[in-house]
Structure 1
Amino acid sequence: MNAFLYAATVLIWGSTWLAIYFQLGEVPVNVSVFYRFALAAILLLPWLWLTGKLQKADASDHRFMILQGACLFSFNFICFYTATQYVTSGLVAVVFSLATLFNAVNNRFFWKESIPAKVVFAGVVGTSGLVLLFLPELQNSGQNGVSLDTLKGLALACLGTYFFSLGNMVSKRNSLKGLSPITTNAYGMTYGTVILALILLATQQPLVLDTRPEYLGALFYLSVFGSIVGFTTYLTLVARLGANKAAYATVMFPVVALLLSSWFEGYQWQVTSFVGLGLTMLGNVIMNSEGIARYFSKKQVAA
């Protein structure tokens, strides 16, 4: 079951970055994110209520689900969508793979879990790979020799990933309270939509709609598969295995995302790109080596 959840999460989320790219254009970032989670919430919450699968939650649970909505279904995606305006979606996905490192640090801070030495080593390896991956993008013929737009994209992607990690910590709390990921997702997406609506009202941003088939198709894919299915499979992994091991699914995100970015966005592979991607993935593998070894040992026993 865990293997299926990993595969589904990787394939879905590895492809959502390209769908985000197709949404860039005349519709402002905040509006696109609002449409995505408004549609997801409209589809998910009533369905759970009508089928009797929506769990009851107290006021304290709802406060945490509001926080989950802010971290997982609004602020983080505003960062990701905006970052994709400066760098390719595949590179944003690579930054997102560092969620394993952020989760380790946040687990220490919020849940008092120790940070193993291998996590520090893995962080150094993964960060080195990230620098190499972004090195060609950072090169610029300008006087400073560095692309400020690329730095903006990198910073926004890192901030979005940190919001995502905070959402993992909140999801862990909700799971420990006995709330299922599908319930917390339904409420979280609803609260995230309300937060986004308040942002649009505060900024007096009109609702612009792009009627191109590629935009509407991307919106449907991101709402149903990227949000409802993808977050449910991922947060189920968080509930079953913990945030650190669940984040191992991000190891394969960059491979899927960069391949799609090469075909659709014209991402150019260089030697440093291959080395950087390899180091980033190696860092994630090192961080999760214990879980990987246990998984294969179980396979051998079963055989």
Structure 2
Amino acid sequence: MPPASSPPGTRATNTRWRWRAPCRRCEVTSQTRSPWRLNIIGPFLLVALIWGSTWFVIKDQLGAVPPSWSVAYRFVFAAVGMFVLAVWRGQGRWGGLHLPWQGQLLALCIGAAQFSFNFNFVYRAEVHLTSGIVAVLFGLLMLPNALLARIFLGQPITRRFLIGTAIGVAGIAMLLLHEAMEAPPHGQVARGIFYVAIGIFGASAANVLQASDTARRTPMLTLLAWAMAWGALIDVIFAWATAGPPAFPESPRYWGGVLYLGLIGSVVTFPLYFGLIRELGAGRAAYNGVLVPVVAMVLSTLFEGYRWSALAAGGAVLAIAGLLVALRGRTAPQPAAEAESTARNPAR
């Protein structure tokens, strides 16, 4: 019974709320469990195809200017494009540009980790490794993601995830062994692997930051725009400090690649990907990370002369199989609002 001080009708009102809320949750759950819809499959395939191609375009950017300046140019264009998109969509106050200081701090951290730290090391890694191998290595992003999510967000790690990760690591090791055997004597494969590992750490840190309560309360496009702006500023400072004044090549192909990476590879893909996370949950959306290396390896074979061997083919199969097993074993995180409500009403 409700307390005696409760106004008349409280019980009936609460009963109606308790009856309707689960129905709304059931409706949302049923939608997120129906991935075979055009508004899901379309963005999923588009993001995978674009991100699979960006690895090859990054490789083509190397040599014209120092890698640090290529990263800076990319995210200067990306930040401008994302601000235009945020204003056009009008998310939040000030036409989509307003971000309180808590959001600015979060955007600064995400920009530093994702759009500066991560990409600077990825570009350097492609100096020593083929684009397809770098993409396959980045498929291991789920491992630090799971570990950091376990530490900071309390998300469980399942046995199937550990088994799949072990299979995937074995496949990656076979691919890297093939790369080391095919590398010229002066090649520095180990340095490239080291750079990828550092880049993965930066991306994983950004993913954990994006799962914070502040990020959930912030309009997605506004947060991305400011994160890219902060990242671009850090990139320019870092490039000037390490590579000297900016270099502006005259090659239209180079600037076409910068525009493709900044606008198509960043402004188009990041909102689509986070939209997939909201529709499918982080676990199913992460299947995108399985398809991206496949696209990258095909492009590397066609345009970079990547030579397959039994060792490399077996490694690729194991890597993809391990990623699929690991993803099937992941548990989607509970939405923040529902988790909070459940904590307050555990008997519901």
* TM-score normalised by the chain length of structure 1: 0.88
Partners of 2:193 and 2:55 lie apart in 1 by: 15
Against the structure 1 CA distance between its residues 141 and 4, is the aligned structure 2 distance closer, same or farther, given a 3 Å change threshold? closer
The letter of the residue matching 2:269 is G
Partners of 1:242 and 1:88 lie apart in 2 by: 31
Preserved CA contact (<8 Å) 1:103 1:244? no
Partners of 2:318 and 2:280 lie apart in 1 by: 25
Aligned match of 1:59: 101
Mean Cα deviation higher: 243-252 or 217-226: 243-252
Preserved CA contact (<8 Å) 2:170 2:318? yes
Instruction: Establish whether residue 285 from structure 1 lines up as the match of residue 327 from structure 2.
Output: no
Instruction: Establish whether residue 113 from structure 1 lines up as the match of residue 155 from structure 2.
Output: yes
CA displacement, residues 76-116 of structure 1 (integer Å, 9 cap, x when unaligned): 01111000000101100001111122211111011011111
Against the structure 1 CA distance between its residues 179 and 99, is the aligned structure 2 distance closer, same or farther, given a 3 Å change threshold? same
- Unaligned stretches of 5+ residues in structure 2: 1-38, 332-348
Paired residue secondary structure (1:266) = coil
Preserved CA contact (<8 Å) 1:64 1:174? no
Aligned match of 1:16: 54
CA displacement, residues 239-266 of structure 1 (integer Å, 9 cap, x when unaligned): 4444443322110111100111111111
- Residue 42 of structure 1: CA displacement? 1.6
Instruction: Establish whether residue 90 from structure 1 lines up as the match of residue 132 from structure 2.
Output: yes
Preserved CA contact (<8 Å) 2:57 2:261? yes
Instruction: Establish whether residue 260 from structure 1 lines up as the match of residue 299 from structure 2.
Output: yes
- Residue 214 of structure 1: CA displacement? 2.0
Mean Cα deviation higher: 261-270 or 197-206: 197-206
Instruction: Establish whether residue 219 from structure 1 lines up as the match of residue 258 from structure 2.
Output: yes
Give every structure 1 segment of 4 or more consecutive aligned residues whose post-TM-superposition deviation is greater than 4 Å: none
Aligned match of 1:125: 167
Partners of 1:101 and 1:4 lie apart in 2 by: 27
Partners of 2:294 and 2:240 lie apart in 1 by: 38
Preserved CA contact (<8 Å) 1:103 1:243? no
Aligned match of 1:209: 248
Instruction: Establish whether residue 269 from structure 1 lines up as the match of residue 308 from structure 2.
Output: yes
Aligned match of 2:271: 232
Q: Of the candidates 166, 173, 186, which is equivalent to residue 225 of structure 2?
A: 186
The letter of the residue matching 1:17 is W
- Residue 234 of structure 1: CA displacement? 1.7
Matched-pair identity in %? 32
Aligned match of 1:27: 65
Partners of 2:122 and 2:304 lie apart in 1 by: 16
The letter of the residue matching 2:300 is S
CA displacement, residues 142-164 of structure 1 (integer Å, 9 cap, x when unaligned): 9xxx9761111111112212211
Partners of 1:51 and 1:233 lie apart in 2 by: 14
Against the structure 1 CA distance between its residues 96 and 174, is the aligned structure 2 distance closer, same or farther, given a 3 Å change threshold? farther
Paired residue secondary structure (1:41) = helix
Cα RMSD after superposing both structures? 2.2
Partners of 1:244 and 1:108 lie apart in 2 by: 14
Preserved CA contact (<8 Å) 2:168 2:323? yes
Against the structure 1 CA distance between its residues 205 and 21, is the aligned structure 2 distance closer, same or farther, given a 3 Å change threshold? same
- Unaligned stretches of 5+ residues in structure 1: 293-303
* TM-score normalised by the chain length of structure 2: 0.77
Against the structure 1 CA distance between its residues 222 and 214, is the aligned structure 2 distance closer, same or farther, given a 3 Å change threshold? same
Aligned match of 1:295: none
Instruction: Establish whether residue 43 from structure 1 lines up as the match of residue 81 from structure 2.
Output: yes
Q: Which has the larger radius of gyration?
A: 2
CA displacement, residues 210-263 of structure 1 (integer Å, 9 cap, x when unaligned): 222221111111011111111121222334444443322110111100111111
Partners of 2:215 and 2:246 lie apart in 1 by: 38
